[in-house]
């Protein structure tokens, strides 16, 4: 039996024993790997105490204390613990413990601990995976220096890797060899890594700001070397950016990245040896989209930045996860904004937050960025901890200013380098360095839900005074009956008719209701709120159509210009959803025409043309009928497409024909958003078909971004070229794993009357397996998240399909199952008939006899009332 009771932040207690050094010897074998561990243990308290070590799915073969083997009576074993009672331990402050265990990597489909990805061995220890390798104090505040000897067959596994520097290597009997690694930086075991395989290696080096040479090595499956170039360039850019922006330099002589195909998440920042999902490493222009390129650079940066924010300073306990994740996401977002258009990067961050994090924060798994109660830690690698966590750091950056923020970072590292600390420690460093009182700001760490900011304004023509009143309200819940006022930075603009008179301000909203008076305002200004999206809040503020139109063209802040357009569109989506007879105004077409012809950069124009997503709209309409919402979005698309067809077609053609524009990311984005609109008009549907042919067959211009855009358009509008072009695509790419993931995702997102027959065929496709998380997500995730029309179909078959797959995954890979269930647990967003069907399916999953803690925690929360 696994432990089914939750843990609480309030119960934190410092460890009674710590571990100073670890000597591991791992003898690799597919089904019976042997792990020998020698630990130097230090007692932290005088009184006798039992030593309880975490361990799961292990076969224990020996326990030795101070070189004396323990008999079976001298220790206790449960499914999750090895307990050595005080009576079996020496009284001394220091003693040694040796433990030998055996594990079966081949049958480890959960991909936690030591497992096989294809032919390679690799590990994933965050959050609590090390306990599947050996009995250990598996908590981040126990930090030790690791020396790791890896032993394996020399032919099959020529490369044996672990953290730190290589200190020894040699041949052994029976065709085996070994390599020993030593990591001089004490670390928690979640940062431990081991990899063994037969890879191609891309070698490079980086000279740090103090002049040290660091060897950079990227390990990829044989034959993929040319696809690792972009990752290498991204790594060097990240290293340079962190030196320039935060004065942070890399600290070992070698930095290794290994790309594997079987991985639960994006990537992992193990000290000196990052392990990556291959999808965030491999790219070339034939097989990767512009978006893939962007994401690879961002994830490489994220993991690299963890070396300081996460590894050198780590978390005291897992409730503090946002200490490293929120901060590191903020850092990677700033990096991306510096490498690309900062306006477009910011818009894309906000889209994710609004469409997914807001939904999470309004659903049954809502939690503060520092959770207080956890059953399965893997369930808390959430959009809230990561993305809202990053927004909280960004608010600090806004409130303190860039200089004080940098001072705070410097102080944080000066105080805590080499330690395991808390979110409070971080905020205190920021407060001390800037001399700003952040007491109230800390509430962001303990309150959940998206705050709603209300607006009241008045203008006095005689006194020329403009008064702005803002209110704030955080949602209440069982865990949060009395939310308190938060410290909210509100960047605003008072947009004037006279172009040069627009003024911007940073307001600090700290009370439930607060007013500001602005003097000498010549005429009633138009209010633009949340410049740069200065706080993760919702606005309760209905601005008139004409004000929004004014902001689209006149706000200084690019985010405000974009957001005004989105709010206008959202109001139409809302009205169309609730009232089938609502007619769209021609003003909208005029506004869109102006956007198309504006002199903004093309990536920004493309963003302005993107309609709010299904998820974003669903979050703003209570108990929405999903089918009505799908129809509303289609109607809005068709209205714009029809009304602006000449402009959209001209814009599309210009980008298709002009050779210089063809190769440019921004222009591709603009061209492909035009195609998405034109695809709704019969007259232009040939364009999607032709773009596929052109993007696929041209020898030097073959381009995955354009190929996918064309197929996506065909999938969404059920165009008749779709199935033959998908067969063509399949035969071209069947041996390229990452591209076949795209194929499965496209197949699952097609709007089709026989979608369920197709899904069944896809499940039995020779290349489909639930054991590979990317593959499982590409089929099941794409269907549930990218095909709302079929997922929410009124028969309930969509919900049933997801349910069956989640139930199968529960036994194979609980982490992946638990992520895929998201759209079902948010059932309260939808109309009662849909709610009921979704709830019935959840009850079915809850009835599983071998239900994992991962799913149990979410189902219990979703079904509690």
Minimal distance, residue 306 CB to Zn ion, in Å: 6
Minimal distance, residue 423 CB to ligand TRP, in Å: 16
Minimal distance, residue 820 CB to ligand TRP, in Å: 15
Considering CB distances under 5 to 8 angstroms, the limit depending on partner class, which of Zn ion, ligand TRP, none binds residue 268?
ligand TRP
Q: CB nearer to Zn ion: give 325 or 563.
A: 325
Contact with ligand TRP (CB under 6 A) among 19, 63, 127, 423:
127
Q: Is the peptide bond before 127 cis (omega within 30 degrees of 0)?
A: yes
Considering CB distances under 5 to 8 angstroms, the limit depending on partner class, which of Zn ion, ligand TRP, none binds residue 775?
none
Q: CB nearer to Zn ion: give 37 or 328.
A: 328
Instruction: List the one residue out of 493, 302, 508 whose CA is nearest residue 401.
Output: 508
Contact with ligand TRP (CB under 6 A) among 37, 109, 264, 774:
264
Q: In angstroms, rounded to a whole number, what is the distance separating the alpha carbons of residues 540 and 510?
A: 17
Size of the site for ligand TRP (CB under 6 A): 14
| Secondary structure of residue 180 in the 3-state scheme | strand
Minimal distance, residue 301 CB to ligand TRP, in Å: 11
Name the closest residue to ligand TRP (Cβ). Answer: 265
98 sits in which H/E element: strand 94-103
DSSP alpha helix (H) spans, 52-195: none
Q: In angstroms, rounded to a whole number, what is the distance separating the alpha carbons of residues 303 and 324?
A: 11
Considering CB distances under 5 to 8 angstroms, the limit depending on partner class, which of Zn ion, ligand TRP, none binds residue 265?
ligand TRP
Considering CB distances under 5 to 8 angstroms, the limit depending on partner class, which of Zn ion, ligand TRP, none binds residue 126?
ligand TRP
CA within 13 Å, CB half, 258: 29
Q: CB nearer to Zn ion: give 307 or 557.
A: 307
Q: CB nearer to ligand TRP: give 56 or 126.
A: 126
- Tokens 């571990």 correspond to 19
- Tokens 């773009």 correspond to 691
Angle at 151 (CA atoms; ends 144, 164), nearest 5 degrees: 35
Q: Is 261 in the site for ligand TRP (CB under 6 A)?
A: no
| Secondary structure of residue 291 in the 3-state scheme | helix
- Give 118's DSSP letter: T
Q: Is 277 in the site for ligand TRP (CB under 6 A)?
A: no
User: Known catalytic residue: 697?
Assistant: no
Contact with ligand TRP (CB under 6 A) among 26, 133, 265, 595:
265
Q: CB nearer to Zn ion: give 331 or 567.
A: 331
Considering CB distances under 5 to 8 angstroms, the limit depending on partner class, which of ligand TRP, Zn ion, none binds residue 217?
none
Q: In angstroms, rounded to a whole number, what is the distance separating the alpha carbons of residues 430 and 425?
A: 9
Read off the tokens for 656: 């298709």
User: Binding string, 301-340, against ligand TRP, x = CB under 6 A?
Assistant: -xx---------------------x---------------
User: Binding string, 377-396, against ligand TRP, x = CB under 6 A?
Assistant: -x--x---------------
Contact with ligand TRP (CB under 6 A) among 268, 282, 782, 816:
268
637 close to 680: Cβ distance less than 8 angstroms: yes
CA 462: distance to chain centroid? 52
Read off the tokens for 810: 């529960």
Q: CB nearer to ligand TRP: give 360 or 616.
A: 360
- Give 644's DSSP letter: T
Considering CB distances under 5 to 8 angstroms, the limit depending on partner class, which of Zn ion, ligand TRP, none binds residue 242?
none
25 close to 101: Cβ distance less than 8 angstroms: no
Q: CB nearer to ligand TRP: give 128 or 183.
A: 128
Minimal distance, residue 269 CB to ligand TRP, in Å: 6
Q: CB nearer to Zn ion: give 280 or 733.
A: 280
CA 508: distance to chain centroid? 29
Question: 743 Cβ partners below 8 Å, 6+ apart?
Answer: 726, 729, 730, 733
799 sits in which H/E element: helix 797-812
Residue 489 β-bridge partners: 508
Which stretch in 38-46, 122-130, 160-168, 763-771 sits in contact with ligand TRP by CB under 6 A? Answer: 122-130
Q: Is 269 in the site for ligand TRP (CB under 6 A)?
A: yes
Q: In angstroms, rounded to a whole number, what is the distance separating the alpha carbons of residues 418 and 414?
A: 10
Overall size of the chain counted in residues: 865
- Would you put residue 223 in left (φ > 0), alpha (ψ -120 to 50) or beta? left
Q: CB nearer to ligand TRP: give 265 or 350.
A: 265
- Would you put residue 506 in left (φ > 0), alpha (ψ -120 to 50) or beta? beta
Q: Is 126 in the site for ligand TRP (CB under 6 A)?
A: yes
Residue 622 β-bridge partners: none
Q: In angstroms, rounded to a whole number, what is the distance separating the alpha carbons of residues 112 and 265?
A: 11
Contact with ligand TRP (CB under 6 A) among 117, 124, 558, 787:
124
Q: CB nearer to ligand TRP: give 193 or 576.
A: 193
Considering CB distances under 5 to 8 angstroms, the limit depending on partner class, which of ligand TRP, Zn ion, none binds residue 147?
none
| Secondary structure of residue 623 in the 3-state scheme | coil
Which stretch in 260-268, 332-340, 529-537, 848-856 sits in contact with ligand TRP by CB under 6 A? Answer: 260-268
Which stretch in 12-20, 123-131, 647-655, 682-690 sits in contact with ligand TRP by CB under 6 A? Answer: 123-131
Q: CB nearer to Zn ion: give 328 or 721.
A: 328
Question: 455 Cβ partners below 8 Å, 6+ apart?
Answer: 468, 469, 470, 471, 527, 529, 539, 540, 541
Which stretch in 120-128, 254-262, 566-574, 737-745 sits in contact with ligand TRP by CB under 6 A? Answer: 120-128
Which stretch in 119-127, 429-437, 713-721, 780-788 sits in contact with ligand TRP by CB under 6 A? Answer: 119-127
Minimal distance, residue 267 CB to ligand TRP, in Å: 5
| Full DSSP string of 140-170 | TT--EEEEEEEEEETTT--EEEESSEEEEEE
Considering CB distances under 5 to 8 angstroms, the limit depending on partner class, which of Zn ion, ligand TRP, none binds residue 124?
ligand TRP
Q: List contacts with Zn ion (CB under 5 A).
A: 325, 328
Q: In angstroms, rounded to a whole number, what is the distance separating the alpha carbons of residues 277 and 124?
A: 11
Which stretch in 213-221, 267-275, 491-499, 565-573 sits in contact with ligand TRP by CB under 6 A? Answer: 267-275
Read off the tokens for 385: 């901890």
Read off the tokens for 736: 């390229």
Minimal distance, residue 110 CB to ligand TRP, in Å: 10
| Window 460 to 519, contacts with ligand TRP (CB under 6 A) | none
Considering CB distances under 5 to 8 angstroms, the limit depending on partner class, which of ligand TRP, Zn ion, none binds residue 264?
ligand TRP
Considering CB distances under 5 to 8 angstroms, the limit depending on partner class, which of ligand TRP, Zn ion, none binds residue 23?
none
Q: Which of 217, 297, 303, 493 is catalytic?
A: 303
Question: 6 Cβ partners below 8 Å, 6+ apart?
Answer: 373, 374, 375, 857
| Full DSSP string of 336-361 | HHHHS-HHHHHHHHHHHIIIIIHHHH
Question: 30 Cβ partners below 8 Å, 6+ apart?
Answer: 105, 106, 116
Q: CB nearer to ligand TRP: give 124 or 224.
A: 124
Q: CB nearer to ligand TRP: give 268 or 537.
A: 268
CA 173: distance to chain centroid? 45
How many angstroms separate the most distant Cα atoms in the chain? 95
Minimal distance, residue 542 CB to ligand TRP, in Å: 38
Q: Is 739 in the site for ligand TRP (CB under 6 A)?
A: no
Q: Is 376 in the site for ligand TRP (CB under 6 A)?
A: no
Which stretch in 264-272, 545-553, 709-717, 766-774 sits in contact with ligand TRP by CB under 6 A? Answer: 264-272
CA 127: distance to chain centroid? 15
Binding site for ligand TRP (CB under 6 A): 124, 126-127, 264-269, 302-303, 325, 378, 381
Q: Which residues are catalytic?
A: 303
């Amino acid at each position: 039996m696994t432990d089914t009771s939750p843990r609480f932040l309030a119960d934190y207690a410092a460890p009674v024993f710590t571990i100073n050094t670890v000597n591991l010897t791992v003898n690799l074998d597919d089904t019976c790997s042997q792990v020998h561990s020698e630990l130097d243990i230090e007692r932290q308290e005088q009184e006798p105490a039992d030593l309880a070590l975490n361990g799961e799915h292990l076969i224990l073969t020996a326990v030795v204390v101070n070189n004396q083997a323990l008999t079976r009576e001298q220790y206790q074993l449960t499914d999750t613990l090895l307990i050595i009672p005080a009576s079996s331990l020496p009284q001394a402050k220091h003693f040694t413990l040796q433990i030998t265990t055996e594990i079966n990597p081949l049958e480890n489909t959960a991909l936690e601990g030591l497992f096989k990805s294809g032919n390679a061995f690799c590990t994933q220890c965050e959050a609590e995976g090390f306990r599947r390798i050996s009995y250990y104090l598996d908590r981040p505040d126990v930090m030790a220096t690791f020396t790791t000897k890896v032993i394996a067959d020399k032919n099959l596994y020529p490369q044996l890797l672990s953290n730190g520097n290589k200190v020894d290597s040699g041949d052994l009997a029976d065709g085996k060899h070994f390599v020993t690694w030593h990591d001089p930086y004490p670390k928690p075991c979640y940062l431990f890594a081991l990899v063994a395989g037969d890879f191609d290696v891309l070698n490079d080096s980086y000279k740090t700001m103090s002049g040290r040479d660091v060897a950079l090595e990227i390990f990829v499956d044989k034959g993929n070397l040319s696809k690792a170039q972009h990752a290498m360039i991204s790594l060097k850019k990240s290293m340079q950016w962190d030196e320039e922006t935060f004065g942070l330099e890399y600290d070992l002589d070698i930095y290794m990245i290994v790309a594997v195909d079987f991985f639960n998440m994006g990537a992992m920042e193990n000290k000196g040896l990052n392990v990556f999902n291959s999808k965030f490493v491999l790219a070339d222009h034939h097989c990767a989209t512009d978006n893939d390129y962007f994401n690879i650079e961002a994830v490489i940066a994220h993991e690299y930045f963890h070396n300081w924010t996460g590894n050198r300073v780590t978390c005291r306990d897992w409730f503090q996860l946002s200490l490293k994740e929120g901060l590191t996401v903020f850092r990677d977002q700033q990096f991306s904004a510096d490498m690309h258009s900062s306006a477009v990067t910011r818009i894309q961050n906000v889209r994710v937050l609004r469409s997914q994090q807001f939904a999470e924060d309004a659903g049954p798994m809502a939690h503060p960025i520092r959770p207080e109660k956890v059953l399965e830690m893997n369930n808390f690698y959430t959009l809230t901890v990561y993305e809202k966590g990053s927004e909280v750091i960004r608010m600090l950056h806004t409130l303190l200013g860039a200089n004080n923020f940098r001072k705070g970072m410097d102080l944080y590292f000066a105080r805590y380098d080499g330690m395991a600390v808390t979110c409070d420690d971080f905020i205190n460093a920021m407060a001390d360095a800037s001399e700003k009182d952040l007491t109230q700001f800390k509430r962001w760490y303990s309150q959940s839900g998206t705050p709603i900011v209300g607006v009241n304004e008045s203008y006095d023509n005689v006194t020329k005074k403009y008064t702005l009143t803002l209110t704030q309200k955080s949602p209440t819940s069982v865990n949060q009956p009395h939310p308190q006022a938060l410290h909210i930075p509100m960047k605003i603009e008072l947009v004037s008719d006279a172009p040069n008179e627009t003024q911007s301000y940073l307001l600090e909203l700290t009370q439930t209701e607060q007013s500001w008076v602005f003097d000498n305002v010549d005429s009633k200004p138009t209010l633009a709120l949340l410049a740069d999206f200065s706080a993760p809040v919702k606005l309760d503020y209905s601005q008139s159509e004409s004000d929004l139109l004014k902001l689209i063209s006149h706000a200084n802040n690019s985010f405000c210009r974009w957001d005004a357009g989105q709010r206008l569109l959202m109001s139409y989506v809302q009205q169309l959803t609730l009232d089938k007879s609502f007619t769209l105004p021609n003003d909208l077409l005029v506004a869109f025409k102006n956007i198309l012809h504006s002199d903004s950069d093309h990536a920004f124009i493309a963003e302005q043309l993107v309609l709010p997503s299904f998820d974003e709209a669903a979050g703003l309409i209570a108990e929405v009928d999903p089918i009505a919402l799908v129809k509303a979005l289609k109607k809005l698309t068709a209205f714009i497409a029809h009304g602006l067809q000449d402009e959209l077609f001209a814009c599309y053609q210009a980008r298709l024909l002009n050779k210089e524009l063809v190769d440019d990311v921004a222009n591709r984005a603009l061209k492909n958003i035009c195609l998405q609109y034109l695809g709704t008009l019969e007259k232009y549907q040939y364009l999607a078909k032709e773009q596929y042919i052109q993007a696929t067959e041209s020898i030097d211009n073959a381009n995955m971004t354009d190929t996918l855009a064309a197929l996506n358009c065909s999938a969404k509008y059920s165009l008749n070229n779709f199935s033959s072009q998908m067969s063509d695509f399949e035969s071209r790419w069947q041996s390229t794993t990452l591209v076949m993931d795209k194929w499965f995702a496209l197949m699952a997102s097609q709007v089709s009357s026989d979608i369920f027959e197709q899904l069944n065929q896809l499940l039995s496709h020779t290349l489909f397996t639930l054991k590979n998380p990317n593959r499982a997500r590409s089929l099941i995730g794409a269907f549930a998240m990218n095909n709302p029309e079929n997922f929410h179909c009124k028969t309930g078959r969509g919900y049933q399909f997801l349910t069956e797959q989640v139930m199968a995954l529960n036994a194979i890979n609980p982490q992946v199952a638990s992520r895929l269930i998201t759209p079902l647990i948010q059932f309260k967003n939808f109309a009662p008939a849909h709610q009921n069907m979704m709830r019935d399916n959840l009850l079915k999953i809850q009835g599983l006899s071998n239900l994992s803690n991962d799913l149990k925690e979410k189902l219990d929360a979703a079904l509690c009332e």
